[in-house]
Structure 1
Amino acid sequence: MVLYAAAFIAFALDLARRSAQVKAGNTVGVDGSVTTAPRVLETASVGSGVGASSAGGAASVAVAEAPAGERATDAADRAVATTGGRASGGRDGGQNLKGRFGADGSITQRSLSLRLGMAFTLLGFLLEVTADVVRGIAAQRVPWANMYEFSMTGTVLIIGVFLVVNTRVDLRFLGTFITGLVLILLGISTVNYYVVIAPLPPALQSAWLVIHVFVASLGTAFFALGFALSGIQLLQSRREVSGSALKFVKLKFLASLPDSTRLENLAYRVNIVGFVFWTFTLIAGAVWAERAWGRYWGWDTKEVWTFIIWVIYAGYIHARATRGWRGSRSAWLAIIGFAAVLFNFGIVNVFFHGLHSYSGL
């Protein structure tokens, strides 16, 4: 939780940095990189035969005329870039500056806080995976047989899905929301759900415990990512229409994120993956129920809410694909679906008693 908290702070600082740079009129990319407007420097004229001394003179002039607050080394490097990078007399001296200086003299800087956020998230993920594995070794079974263990495994998968998806699509701007959600879930489970290791009830002594619960956790992880994307989509859509995401708060960092259409498409894709896993969860649960209790469906509270979640996401996919429900309506359906997932996890498992009362509390 400490590492996830550090990641949350780093991601939040990145969003604050984005807002400040957008306000300053700079260009901020989805990856958090900031490109400042090119500045015209009155440096010494450099001819084709000029060597290190002339380039050094240009650098000294640039340092003298550098804008307030700019590091002298940055100004000198920028001046060297304008001379073709030949301060050392080599033909490829400027190649080390590629990616930092544009051809027009603009400067691109990457977000240190964003990189720190991903590093802390990865470290926290590895540590939590270790804790989850150790819990399983101590219990001599899979570590998701009660609410505490399910919370730990579920949050591991949420972070894992976030990290894996980032290898395909840059969604690091969701880091604040994902790590914040995981922090809340871990905090609640640590305070309220912790139990000592206990033997499994007879109904849980089945291979379906491995399959059914793990797939349900994986589906929940994809739904969590879709929830975060849909929430950002609503804010972005409002900003695009009215110029402000919220009435009293100006979330300028939204200008650096993908547009609402792109966010909606990404949310739709991850929610479809989650829906596939949840469909399997529903089917596997029915098969397991027949093995354990002699019937496929008994209208138990847990069974009903699992089906309600499936219906909400099925409606979301169907309405968007066939009825043209786009924009805020589809986003709200996705958010309602994940709210039902949280209700199923935090309320049904704890306060409703039935055949599925295996919270361990």
Structure 2
Amino acid sequence: MLVNTTMADLSDLTFRTAFVIYIVAMLMSCLYYGRMFSVVDMRREKAAVRDRARDQDKVAVGAGGASIVVDEPEGVDKPVFDELEYDKRVAGARKWAGMTQALIWLGILLHVAAVITRGLGARRFPLGNLYEYILMMTAVIMVVAAVTIQRKKWYSLYPWLLAPLIVAMYLNSTVFHMKAAPVVPALQSYWLPVHVSSVSVGASVGIVSGIFSLLYLLRMWQPRGEEHGVIGALVRPLPTAKTLDELAYKTAIVTLPLFGIGITLGAVWAEVAWGRFWGWDAKETVSLITWILYAAYLHARATAGWKNSRAAWINVFALAMTIFNMTYVNFVIASLHSYAGLN
């Protein structure tokens, strides 16, 4: 089967262009993040001024066991808040958030185009090696992140998500890059699209969930309004721990069935290809452990008596196992799934 080199080169070009756009988007998201420091400070100042004004509006005086309410004496200055300056800073931050979101969607369009043109160039489903697997996963991660963040309007999460994604894309375009080519005979099966795509999508959503759990644990260490030290100053624009925990939980709910379906379909394919459903191959085993960790996280998260912080650590371990499966297992461990072109 001949390779369409024009489409393959176009795939590489669109992927690298998306990479550059994500870098620009990250810079803009950092500018938004920086603007949010002053917005958060003024928002807290506004709440404090409102509380002080409420206390000064009326003074309760105890008299013979009863409460008498009297007006604040004249001449006492009430606390004031500069609403115009606050609105100006909020509008400035929203401008950067809007530009960041627009760039993110442009990057996603090019990213998805890179996946499609890779398949057209190789004349097959584009999940035949580690390069294509990460190409697909990073695209899904960005779609999930963009939809979640735009829906909730938590644009301060972008720097934390884009930083590791940009590193992964850089490694994928350099260390893991492979030219478009036909896959080995073992992968020339209709099971490839259904098995690998469900696993990759499930793992991608799981990575987003794991990052949210990491940020949740960071927020638990630095609660809103009680931040301290350098790290505390850095995380001020982040959402509350409750919000981050809910985002991690909801995305993990999607991860568990998708990843489980992928493992099940892989077992069926293994029976067709190798004559057995399960052989405790390295990738099979690590994938099963990862799925069990996601199940344990959701169970612990929904179980009374379990602290959400303890459950979050399980989700972080699942994230670590996903990364371990993509890196160490592919680089070092001999496996029947060694189709990444690395070992």
Q: Compared with structure 1, are the counterparts of its residues 161 and 241 closer, same or farther at alpha carbon in structure 2 (3 Å cutoff)?
A: closer
Aligned partner of residue 185 in structure 1, secondary structure: helix
Distance apart, 1:332 and its partner CA: 1.5
- Looking at structure 2, the residues matched to 298 and 249 of structure 1 have their Cα atoms a distance apart, in angstroms, of 46
- Cα offset for 1:164? 2.5
1:19 touches 1:253 (CA, 8 Å); kept in 2? no
User: What is the 5 A alignment of 1:1-361?
Assistant: 1-22=19-40, 25-27=41-43, 108-111=90-93, 112-166=95-149, 168-240=151-223, 243-244=226-227, 247-251=229-233, 253-254=235-236, 256-361=237-342
Secondary structure of the 1:193 match is coil
Contact 1:16 1:253 in 2 (8 A): no
Equivalent position amino acid for 1:275 in 2: L
Q: Report the CA distance between 1:326 and its aligned residue.
A: 2.7
Q: TM-score, normalised by structure 2?
A: 0.77
Deviation of 1:350 after TM superposition, in Å, equals 2.2
- In the alignment, is the contact (CA less than 8 A) between 2:191 and 2:269 conserved in 1? yes
Identity fraction in percent: 33
How many pairs does the alignment contain?
Answer: 289
Q: CA deviation at 1:323?
A: 4.9
The one-letter amino acid paired with 2:184 is P
Q: Distance in 1 between matches of 2:189 and 2:240?
A: 46
CA distance in 1: counterparts of 2:105 and 2:87, whole angstroms:
32
Rounded to whole Å, the distance in 2 between the matches of 1:167 and 1:21 is 19
CA contact (8 A) 2:157 2:238 kept: no
**AA at the equivalent of 1:27:** R
Report the alpha carbon displacement of residue 250 of structure 1 after superposing the two structures with TM.
Answer: 3.2
For residue 242 of structure 1, report the CA deviation from its aligned partner. Answer: 9.1
Which structure features the higher share of helix residues?
A: 2
In the superposition, relative to structure 1, how do residues 106 and 197 fare at CA in structure 2: closer, same or farther (>3 Å)? closer
Q: Distance in 2 between matches of 1:311 and 1:235?
A: 24
Q: 1:225 to 1:21 in 2, by over 3 A?
A: same
Q: Distance between the aligned counterparts of 1:336 and 1:305, measured in 2?
A: 12
Judge conservation of contact 1:8–1:175 (CA < 8 Å) in 2: yes
Shift of residue 120, structure 1, vs aligned partner: 1.7
The 3 A distance-change label for structure 1 pair 172 and 208 is: farther
Deviation at 1:106, TM superposition (A): 5.7
What code does the residue aligned with 2:100 have?
A: G
After the TM superposition, which of the residue ranges 290-299 and 188-197 deviates more from structure 2? 188-197
Residue 252 of structure 1 and its aligned partner are, at CA, apart by: 5.3
Cα distance in 1 for residues equivalent to 2:161 and 2:234? 20
More displaced 10-residue stretch of structure 1: 316-325 or 209-218: 316-325
Aligned-pair CA distance for 1:173: 2.2
CA distance in 2, matches of 1:211, 1:165: 25
Whole-angstrom distance in 2 between the partners of 1:276 and 1:169 = 24
Q: Structure 1: where are the runs of 5+ without partners?
A: 29-33, 39-77, 79-100
**How far, CA to CA, are the matches of 2:330 and 2:146 in structure 1?**
28
- The separation in 1 between residues aligned to 2:194 and 2:215, in whole angstroms, is 32
Q: CA deviation at 1:198?
A: 2.2
Question: With structure 1 as the length reference, what TM-score do the two structures score?
Answer: 0.74
Unaligned ranges ≥5, structure 2: 1-18, 51-81
Distance 1:286 1:203 in 2: 15
Q: Is the 8 A contact 2:130 2:340 kept in 1?
A: yes
The answer as to whether partners of 2:297 and 2:314 remain within 8 angstroms in 1 is yes
Contact 1:316 1:330 in 2 (8 A): yes
1:59-111, Cα deviation, whole Å (9 max, x unpaired): xxxxxxxxxxxxxxxxxxx9xxxxxxxxxxxxxxxxxxxxxx88xx9655252
